[in-house]
Amino acid sequence: MSKKVYVGMSGGVDSSVTAALLVEQGHDVTGVYMKNWSQDLPGFACPWKEDYQDARRVAVQLDIPFKMYDFETEYRSKVVDYMVAEYQAGRTPNPDIMCNQEVKFKLFLNTALNDGADMIATGHYSRTEGDRLRIAANSVKDQSYFLYRITADAISKTLMPIGGYATKDEVRAIATDRGLATATKKDSQGICFVGKVGIKDFLLTELGPQKPGPIVDHADRTIGEHDGALFYTIGQRHGLDIGGGLPYYVARKDMATNTVYVTTDLNDATLWSTELTVHDQHWINQPPEPGRTYQARLRYRGPLVDCTIDGDRIVLADEQRGLAAGQSAVIYDGEYVLGGAILNL
C-alpha cells in the first residue's frame, strides 16, 4: 500500500538509493535534509552545504519534493553537549547512538509526521519488521548497534529498504544503474554530521587545552605526561607518546587526580571484563528474560558474545578487552535487537 514517506537524505549514496527504491515501490516520497551542524572547525570545513546540494540533486533526478529541517539547536543540546559532558566525566560516549535516539528517530520522525508524513525512511543498514529491529543482511555494514535506543513506535513508522542488500556494491550498483548523482560518492567519516574531524580535535575546539598530568605504569612509576586525561580511553594504544620497548595500553583513568594508568601486559586484569554493570537500560519490545542466553555486542563491529542478563548486571561467556564506561552493550536475540544499556564497569 502506498504511503507518504519522508526520507532522511544526507547527500550520501545510501539515503539516495533509499529514496529511489521507495519511489519505484510507488510511495509518495519527499526528501528531507537534516541540517544538524554547520560550524567549521580549525583545519576542517563542515561539508553540510555540499551534502545538502548532493541530496537536492538526487531529489531533482527522482522528481520528488525536497526540503530542509534545521535541527542545529536541538543537535547541539541533545548530542554535542551530552558527548562533551561525558568525556569531561572520564567516560567514552557514542554520539551516533544519541543522534539516532534524539534527532533522527524522535525529532525528525515527529516533525515529519506533523508535516503530513505517514512514515519516515533512512539509509541505515538494518531492517524493520513491524515494531521489531533486525540486523542487516550485510553483516559488515550492519548499523543496528547504533539503533538500539529507538522505540518500538518509531520502528513501526520507519522504513530501511537497503538493509536487505548483502553488500555495499549492490547498493552502489543500484545508484549507478539509475544514474544518481551520488553513485560514486565516498562514505562519510567522522562524528555524526561534524565531518572529517577527530574526537580530540573536536574536544579541543569545544573545551580548549586541558591540564597535563602524569602517565603512570603498573609499577606506579611516572613514565610520561599526557595532555588531558579526558582525551584517552580504556585500551587505547596510540597517541601516548611513550617511546621505546613494548607498546603501552591505557588501563584506567583517575579523573580526580588527572592521572592516566598504562600497562604493557595485555593480560592485565584491569583490561579484561566478564561481569558488567550497566545503567540507562532501553528495551525495544520487552526486557530480556533472566537466566536466558542472549548475545551482546560491546562496540560497533565487535564480536557477538553470549551473555546472560539479570537486572543491571550482564555476565559474558567470554572475557572482553578494553571496555570503557559510557560505551554501550547492545543485546541481540539471534537476528533481532532487544535493546541495551550503557556500561558502568
Q: Which residue numbers are catalytic?
A: 99, 192
Give the rounded distance of the alpha carbon of 293 from its chain centre.
Answer: 25
Helices (H), 63-105: 72-75, 81-88, 95-99
Q: Which residues pair with 112 in a beta bridge?
A: none
Q: Which three cell numbers stand for residue 132?
A: 521489531
| Separation of alpha carbons 154 and 158, rounded Å | 6
109: nearest Cα among 9, 1, 6: 6
**273 pairs with which residues across the strands?**
320
Residues 275, 262 contacting (CB under 8 angstroms) = no
Number of H helices, E strands in the chain: 9, 17
**What stretches of the chain show up as alpha helix (H) in DSSP?**
13-24, 48-62, 72-75, 81-88, 95-99, 109-114, 152-156, 168-177, 199-207
Q: Report the Cα–Cα distance between both ends of the chain, in Å, rounded.
A: 47
- The β-bridge relationship of strands 4-8 and 272-283 is unpaired
- Beta strands 126-129 and 336-343, pairing class: unpaired
Residue 279, burial from CB neighbour count under 10 angstroms (0-12, 13-18, 19+): exposed
Cα 161 to Cα 38, 97, 320: the distances in Å are 28, 20, 33
- Beta carbons of 232 and 263 less than 8 angstroms apart: no
**Separation CA 148–CA 62 (nearest Å):** 31
